[in-house]
Amino acid sequence: MHDGCTGAGNDGKSVVNKVRMMGFNKQAMPAPLEISCANCEHTFNMTFFEASCPECQMVHAVTPCSATDPSKVKAAGIGY
């Protein structure tokens, strides 16, 4: 069982783990977000709740409740 979009989720790994646990990691977001990679600063469109930077493979994620706010996207690590 999960606690929705509340609870732990301040760092990238916990956000990625939450999105994976909820089964949203491979689901399309309601609207793409243009984000800047936390590692290499490459700008790309994030179309799934979990996405890797096409330049450096840094994994980023956002919970469904925060999918409209680019500041809520968190990086977990390269290849995480």
What pLDDT does 10 receive?
77
Summarize pLDDT for 40-79 with one digit per residue, the tens. 999 999 999 999 999 999 999 999 999 999 999 999 999 9
Q: What is the pTM of this model?
A: 0.89
DSSP letters, 37-77, are -TTT--EEEEEESEEE-TTT-EEEE--GGGTT-GGG-EEEE
Residue 1's pLDDT band (cuts 50, 70, 90): very low
The ranges assigned to domains in the chain are 12-78
Q: How many Cα atoms occupy the beta-carbon half-sphere of 34 within 13 Å?
A: 1
